[in-house]
């Protein structure tokens, strides 16, 4: 290894260097099996141990007990957009969606294919610059579930505190901020997350759910789309994305070694503050998209005085080893994704680049 860049891509995202080194060391001969984990049967004791440890560690980090299960599925969060209403939206009931960005819109679009839906709140009229206030949320009568997206990669907003809605099950897409800080996971009936932003590599999707949700799912939907299929078989009904789960497990062990979620939150706040301070102290040269009370710790979105300057910024940053700073193609601008694996050093490098760029081009 001669050179590593600072990877600010929104996903697939940076992985901890310690995890990559461990995977490299074990790549040819995992646990003295004489073969790579890539070659190991998912029915073997070696892989089943990885699968069990990943579930147990994730529940430990979230403070969850035996009334929750963790599933390792495929198809990304986008498949969950459909699986959730297929399993939990019966005929005659309504599913409520709170819209805070493009991904919550996509989730709603899929749910509409399977049953009645209701938009309980949206900040689309504000170009998704903020998270709705609790008083703005108007639920339907006795919703089957309420769906939120905890963090919005495109617009750079994040729920600072999660709502509760009494008996209505709360479901969250946490693909881009899961495990970024402590939170009360028991508020949620189901959490799902594509791994490729904050948990590991692409290929595996994590579903964390109350056990009762994973039983007696409708029998008139395909076997692979029923959560109980995967729960009864410990995520081994079909061949799982074994290597992705293996790396995810290493990331979870790394998180434990960092001191858990309280310690990682402290580091994430320090990282984000470096970049937000560069924006706030620029005299308007850098303009953050998100309102301050809705700012994300994971995705920092901002604009410059012109699109031409934004292109120059991204190009020069890449030459300086700061990769992946272009905003999402749908909104433009710039975006720094600073997931758990991004280092403080990387954020300091970006802060200094921003200061220097403004001095030369402001």
CA–CA gap between residue 309 and residue 342 (Å, rounded): 25
d(CA 135, CA 83): 29
Task: List phi, psi (to 5°) of 251.
Answer: -65, -40
Q: How far apart are CA 250 and CA 256, in angstroms?
A: 10
Q: Are 191 and 148 in contact (CB under 8 A)?
A: no
The sign of the CA dihedral 177, 178, 184, 189 is positive
CA–CA distance, 50 with 47 (Å, rounded to integer): 5
**Helices and strands (DSSP H and E) totals, the chain:** 9, 14
Q: What is the chain's alpha carbon radius of gyration, rounded to the nearest angstrom?
A: 21
Query: Would strands 170-173 and 157-158 be described as parallel, antiparallel, or unpaired?
Result: unpaired
Spatial separation of the C-alpha atoms in residues 235 and 245, rounded to whole Å: 11
Would you list the DSSP string of 280-344? Answer: HTTTTSSEESS-GGGB-SSEEEEE-S-HHHHHHHHHHHHHTTEE--BPPTTT-SEEEE--TTS-H
- DSSP per-residue letters across 151-216: EETTTTEE-SS----TTSPEEEE-TTTTTSS---GGG-SEEEEETTTTTSSTT-EEEEEEGGGGSS
Which residues belong to the active site?
A: 103, 173, 197
- For residue 51, the cross-strand partners are none
């Amino acid at each position: 290894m001669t050179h590593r860049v600072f990877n600010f891509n929104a996903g697939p995202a940076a992985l901890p260097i310690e995890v990559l080194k461990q995977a490299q060391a074990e790549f040819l001969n995992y646990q003295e099996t004489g073969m790579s984990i890539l070659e190991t049967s998912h029915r073997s004791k070696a892989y089943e141990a990885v699968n069990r440890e990943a579930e147990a560690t994730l529940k430990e980090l979230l403070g969850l007990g035996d009334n929750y299960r963790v599933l390792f599925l495929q198809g990304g969060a986008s498949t969950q957009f459909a699986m959730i209403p297929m399993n939990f939206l019966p005929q005659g009931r309504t599913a409520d969606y709170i819209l805070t960005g493009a991904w919550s819109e996509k989730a709603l679009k899929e749910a509409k294919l399977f049953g009645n839906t209701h938009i309980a709140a949206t900040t689309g009229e504000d170009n998704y610059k903020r998270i709705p206030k609790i008083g703005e949320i108007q639920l339907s009568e006795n919703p089957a579930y309420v769906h939120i997206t905890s963090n919005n990669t495109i617009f750079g907003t994040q729920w600072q505190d999660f709502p509760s809605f009494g008996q209505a099950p709360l479901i969250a897409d946490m693909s881009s901020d899961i495990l970024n800080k402590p939170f009360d996971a028991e508020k949620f009936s189901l959490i799902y997350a594509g791994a490729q932003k904050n948990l590991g590599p692409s290929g595996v999707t994590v579903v964390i759910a109350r056990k009762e949700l994973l039983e007696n799912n409708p029998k008139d939907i395909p076997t692979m789309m029923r959560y109980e299929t995967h729960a009864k078989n410990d995520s081994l009904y079909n061949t799982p994305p074994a290597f992705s789960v293996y790396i995810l497990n290493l990331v979870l062990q790394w998180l434990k070694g960092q001191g858990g979620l309280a310690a990682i939150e402290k580091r994430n706040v320090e990282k984000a503050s470096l970049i937000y301070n560069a924006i706030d102290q620029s005299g308007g040269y850098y303009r953050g998209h998100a309102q301050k009370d809705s700012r994300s710790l994971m995705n920092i979105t901002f604009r410059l005085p012109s699109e031409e300057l934004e292109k120059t910024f991204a190009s020069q940053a890449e030459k300086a080893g700061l990769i992946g700073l272009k905003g999402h193609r749908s909104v433009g601008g710039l975006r720094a994704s600073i997931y758990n694996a991004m280092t403080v050093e990387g954020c300091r490098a970006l802060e200094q680049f921003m200061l220097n760029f403004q001095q030369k081009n402001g």
